[in-house]
Structure 1
């Protein structure tokens, strides 16, 4: 009796998972395409390393654009936050320029 019950339950689980998504119409963009071996090798290559100076320059550019700092509850930053950050950056930049 237990064996028949276990076999019936197993068959139900297998049949349910096999037909669970059979009638769903996926858009063409959701269907994955086969990638070639060259594409896979290129995707697995690590990004080129940046120097400390390059990272610092990118951070300064992001501050100048008003994207940094951004509070956690305002991401991506709103236009008001971007304008506020740009003004703050200009004040800091002029202050540092006057000290040198």
Structure 2
């Protein structure tokens, strides 16, 4: 996975106050110096969309086909930068994103 190294995977199960069994996967990663690979995320998404396409019908099938056509338009989420997390910086980023 670009940007992270998987160190450990744990599983746990517990019962909530309603008596439901809750299963959790606990994934422990360490950041590495590699840049995240957008192509990997897109190929994983495409595989899941194609899997869903084989079972979908009607409007859902049309939506999945549309998503597959537009997969190249999906861009990575921005990396969180605490210095730009102020309200003023967020407003500036919002205005910039909506003026393009």
TM-score relative to the length of structure 1: 0.22
TM-score relative to the length of structure 2: 0.22
Higher relative contact order (CA 8 A, sep 6+): 2
- Based on CA coordinates, which of the two structures has the bigger radius of gyration? 1
